[in-house]
């Protein structure tokens, strides 16, 4: 993960003003994509995608709802805020090209804190070849809020939607699942321990993998590139933000199909399994309902089976069935149970 700066000096945002803050955060930004004609520094960005189809995705992140700054370093938050939006573009079989940042911030944050936030976003843009092309800032009376919009491009006719799954298609997933959720549980546990006894040091030994899955996820760029190189065109695709069960139900609902997912085929890292069991949680439950893994879930024609087997870090976990068969999870003992979505619901009432 990232190294954090130790800088005791603080610059009050009132010293900079809105335009001074924008200049401070964006003065070193240069464009990398030919589709970015004009980025930051004017009333609007100017983009030119020529013969490509344009993809646009937006996401809102609110302090206390989507992130907790008790344990979330601002550089990691900036990186994750960018990457989760890139993930939406990859889930359409496209490539992100420009990012726009809306930032609402309270006076409790010094300018140096926002430097850290933007360093994370700039690093993500550099790694994924995305231009930070504009945005806006304003004050907030309720902490930190980020609104991220990303534009991308996809070749005409090659966008992949959620509603294209066909009966007998194979269901595939990249990477492994459940780690981000278990990482969050660990961070929450140590937060409560610290609240009870501030002298206690957090116990995070052996947890680097699941912490990185939560604090610094990666998007599906490599998977999209592998599929293209192998000549595999998915019939439907979605990124896993709210848990595997929720996402496959989205595909099946939109495609008017059913599915059979095999529990023993779902990829789960051994570190995730070990920590899940320490929380008395089934690793399978974490994979199905945890969310925030940002892996790609997609379907492909069954005649692509030999090709998909050759791809590293991609697992075939089931197949699409007819709608009347329902959406089922086949357990290790061969019994079938109905899949239900128990992942993150942004509008769920608080208990």
pTM for the model? 0.87
Q: What pLDDT is stored for residue 44 in this prediction?
A: 44
Helix (H) or strand (E) holding 347: none
Q: Which of 170, 203, 104, 154 is nearest to 317 (CA)?
A: 170
Residues of the chain with pLDDT under 70: 2-8, 13-14, 16-29, 36, 38-47, 343-351
Contact 190, 203 (CB under 8 A): yes
For 189, what's the count of Cα atoms within 13 Å in the CB-facing half-sphere? Answer: 15
Task: Look at residue 242 in the predicted model and tell me its pLDDT.
Answer: 93
DSSP codes of every residue in 125-179 = HHHHT-EEEEEEEEE-SSS-EEEEEEEEEE-TT----TT---TTPEEEEES--SH
Assign domain 14-154 to a CATH class: alpha beta
The two three-digit tokens of residue 181, written as one number: 């959720």
3-state secondary structure of 318: strand
The pLDDT, as a whole number, for residue 247 is 96
- Kindly report the length of the chain: 351
Where exactly does CATH 3.90.650.10 map onto the chain? Answer: 170-338
Q: How far, in Å, CA of 36 to CA of 148, rounded?
A: 17
146 to each of 75, 183, 186, how far by Cα in Å? 13, 22, 25
Residue with tokens 């850290």: 116
d(CA 245, CA 234): 19
Euclidean distance between CA atoms 84 and 254, whole angstroms: 22
- The CATH homologous superfamily for domain 170-338 is PurM-like C-terminal domain (3.90.650.10)
Burial of 158 (0-12, 13-18, 19+ CB in 10 A): middle
CA nearest to 145, candidates 206, 238, 67: 67
pLDDT of residue 23: 66
| Per-residue confidence (pLDDT) for residue 40, from 0 to 100 | 57
In the chain, CATH 3.30.1330.10 sits at 14-154
pLDDT at 68: 94
Q: What span, in angstroms and rounded, lies between the C-alpha atoms of 75 and 119?
A: 6
Per residue in 229-239, pLDDT (tens digit) is 999 999 999 99
**Cβ partners under 8 Å of residue 342, min gap 6:** 243, 245, 246, 288, 289
Give CA–CA dist 76/252, Å, rounded. Answer: 34
**Is 152 exposed, middle or buried (CB count within 10 Å of its CB: 0-12, 13-18, 19+)?**
buried
User: pLDDT tens digits, residue range 10-46?
Assistant: 777 567 665 565 566 566 667 777 776 765 554 445 6
What distance lies between CA 279 and its chain's CA centroid?
Answer: 24
Question: Model confidence over 207-233: pLDDT tens digits?
Answer: 999 999 999 999 999 999 999 999 999
């Amino acid at each position: 993960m990232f190294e954090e700066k130790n800088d005791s000096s603080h610059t009050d945002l009132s010293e900079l003003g809105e335009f001074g803050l924008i200049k401070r955060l964006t003065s070193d930004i240069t464009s990398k994509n030919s589709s970015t004609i004009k980025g930051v520094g004017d009333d609007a960005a100017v983009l030119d995608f020529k013969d490509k189809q344009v993809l646009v995705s937006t996401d809102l992140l609110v302090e206390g709802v989507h992130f907790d700054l008790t344990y979330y370093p601002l550089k990691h938050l900036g990186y994750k805020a960018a990457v989760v939006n890139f993930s939406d573009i990859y889930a359409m079989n496209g490539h992100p090209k420009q990012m726009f940042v809306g930032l609402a911030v309270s006076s409790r944050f010094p300018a140096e804190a926002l430097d850290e936030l933007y360093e994370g976003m700039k690093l993500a843009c550099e790694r994924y070849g995305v231009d930070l092309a504009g945005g806006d800032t304003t004050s907030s009376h309720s902490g930190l809020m980020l609104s991220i919009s990303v534009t991308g491009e996809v070749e005409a006719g090659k966008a992949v939607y959620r509603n294209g799954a066909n009966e007998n298609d194979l269901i595939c997933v990249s990477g492994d699942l459940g780690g981000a959720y278990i990482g969050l549980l660990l961070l929450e546990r140590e937060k409560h321990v610290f609240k009870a006894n501030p002298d206690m040091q957090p116990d995070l030994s052996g947890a680097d993998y699941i912490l990185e899955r939560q604090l610094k996820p990666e998007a599906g760029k490599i998977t999209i590139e592998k599929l293209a190189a192998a000549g595999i065109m998915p019939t439907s695709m979605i990124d896993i933000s709210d848990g595997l069960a929720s996402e496959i139900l989205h595909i099946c609902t939109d495609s008017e199909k059913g599915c059979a997912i095999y529990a023993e085929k779902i990829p789960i890292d051994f570190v995730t399994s070990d920590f899940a069991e320490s929380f008395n949680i089934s690793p399978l439950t974490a994979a199905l309902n945890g969310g925030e893994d940002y892996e790609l879930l997609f379907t492909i024609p069954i005649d692509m089976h030999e090709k998909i087997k050759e791809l590293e870090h991609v697992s075939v976990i089931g197949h699409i069935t007819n709608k009347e068969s329902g959406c089922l999870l086949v357990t290790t003992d061969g019994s079938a149970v109905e899949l239900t979505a128990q992942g993150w619901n942004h509008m769920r009432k608080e208990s």
